[in-house]
Structure 1
């Protein structure tokens, strides 16, 4: 009789995301066990408890998921988990804090497809303005877009200090060249939109970040993508189901939250299944999410 597939799910937060628990079980895990309030220092011991309680064959049916709310923290936990492995006692690990890696990967992949389909171009040298820039989805999408050749700008809403700090952290960690800007006022947001080839809106649910009037002067704008599914939309004129639909009053097309969410859902499911089916341990982060999301969006 085959051993059950067990996923140990760790988070530094008070609760593990029910969304991720459901996704893991629906993808094929038999059991998903949450561990909350986990620190980076806790990860080493948790991993070794997981690997040494099963045979090397059993570890193939064991995995670890890393949640939370911060991209860098989740990646640090993944690094700590990797260092705890003692081959052949080794398990697969997947980091997706707040669903940000798979959501960001889906948003960038959908935008890239729209660029190809509607404008016969790609991300190379495109100026990507990312609103909601201090959030984890915005952070991840800016890094992903930059790694694929774009020039991304993270836009904060509470002054330049916090978004500047996050930008410098991303540049140091991933060897990219993100820029940052303050979008605290409507005038600042309008000015940033005018510079954009692509806009990503990754702000809080139910918060309008950009109006159509702010988009209309953006003469170079090709794609505007919005991950907010709660009314009002993050970008006025972009509906939740839009997937390359022209935005009235502009030359751009819009991609809405449900179109992005469809690719995100398939990406997260696909990465869980990749863990389940792997003969050798895999370590999955936003780079793996983007590679899969591009295939799913095409």
Structure 2
């Protein structure tokens, strides 16, 4: 029986990136739909779960994406509510690659640090990647500072993660300039920049001045990078006394997790692959 992946994208046009990865992950048939909302997704889910018997539903799966993480989460909730009893299929949640990218970044840092004993700072922490990175750092048992320009948004995001009951703790912080970032990051061992394209948080000189820092990862592939001097291709490259990764340096592991996640979907019909499960899958790949 053919493996069918149904791509549901909240953007008007379904992501070509996610389509290519699905093909490279050995999907037999790919059905792609854009403009997905909680209001129009139910008939698509019904079409997926009522066309094959319960014993064959593991051969159908859903990939849920889109550039707006909040919109994708609303669709995810509706899809899960539509399932009932054995009439369900596995799904993978990775809007704009945020989940697999966060997992790859934290796993890369974990190659060089005991994250349970480390202090981390995540710049752009209220964004989809930064938020999930903070979640995974808290899950690892460490101390993470979630940095945003908005004190209110940072506090809300940190509380949401802390309420998940992880061993680690997330502390919110608002920063509007380089001096404030340096003050927060000065005693950290891991610094992750996951801000919007075109925003540079620190210059190279400022970055290497952080004497306690061991690992720095910048996820911006568009110049200027968020952390000065980190090349997008950097992969465990030494920059002063700091081990650095750039966006493409992390991207290799991100792609492995993405493809492995798609393949994992077809092992049963009851999986939900999102932040924690995709991170665990990534642990098996490093």
TM-score (norm 2): 0.90
Residue 158 (structure 2) aligned to one of 152, 167, 172? 167
Moved more, 64-73 or 102-111: 64-73
Q: CA–CA distance in 2 between the matches of 1:74 and 1:192? A: 32
- Equivalent residue, structure 1, for 2:8: 10
Q: Which residue of 2 aligns with 1:186?
A: 178
Alignment counterpart, residue 266 of structure 1, candidates 251, 256, 268 = 256
Q: Which runs of 5+ in 2 are unaligned?
A: none
For residues 281 and 96 of structure 1, the distance between their equivalents in structure 2, rounded to whole angstroms, comes to: 17
Q: How many residues align?
A: 284
Mapped to 2, the partners of 1:266 and 1:231 lie a distance apart of 25
Asked if the contact 2:147–2:174 (Cα under 8 Å) also holds between the matched residues in 1, the reply is yes
Q: Distance in 2 between matches of 1:150 and 1:72?
A: 26
Measure how far apart 1:212 and its partner are. 2.2
Partner SS, residue 296 of structure 1:
coil
SS at match of 1:124: helix
Question: How far, CA to CA, are the matches of 1:186 and 1:19 in structure 2?
Answer: 34
- Shift in CA distance, 164/13, structure 1 to aligned 2, threshold 3 Å: farther
Report 1:1-298 matches (<5 A). Answer: 2=1, 4-71=2-69, 74-115=72-113, 122-157=114-149, 159-172=150-163, 174-176=164-166, 177-248=169-240, 251-276=241-266, 278-297=267-286
Q: Assess if the C-alpha contact under 8 Å between 1:106 and 1:294 holds in 2.
A: no
- More deviation in 176-185 or 262-271? 176-185
CA shift, 1:189, in A, is 1.5
**8 Å CA contact retained: 1:110, 1:294:** no
Judged with a 3 Å threshold, the aligned counterparts in structure 2 of structure 1 residues 68 and 170 are, in CA distance, closer, same or farther, namely: farther
Structure 1 contact 133–154 (Cα < 8 Å) conserved: yes
Corresponding residue for residue 118 of structure 1: none
| Structure-2 separation of matches of 1:142 and 1:171 | 10
- Alpha-carbon distance between aligned partners in 1 of 2:173 and 2:124, rounded to the nearest angstrom: 11
TM-score of the aligned structures, taking structure 1 as reference length = 0.87
For residues 161 and 69 of structure 2, the distance between their equivalents in structure 1, rounded to whole angstroms, comes to 10
Structure 1 residues not aligned, in runs of 5+: 116-121
* Contact residue 57 and residue 269 of structure 2 kept, 8 A: no
Q: CA deviation at 1:140?
A: 0.8
Root-mean-square deviation (Å): 2.1
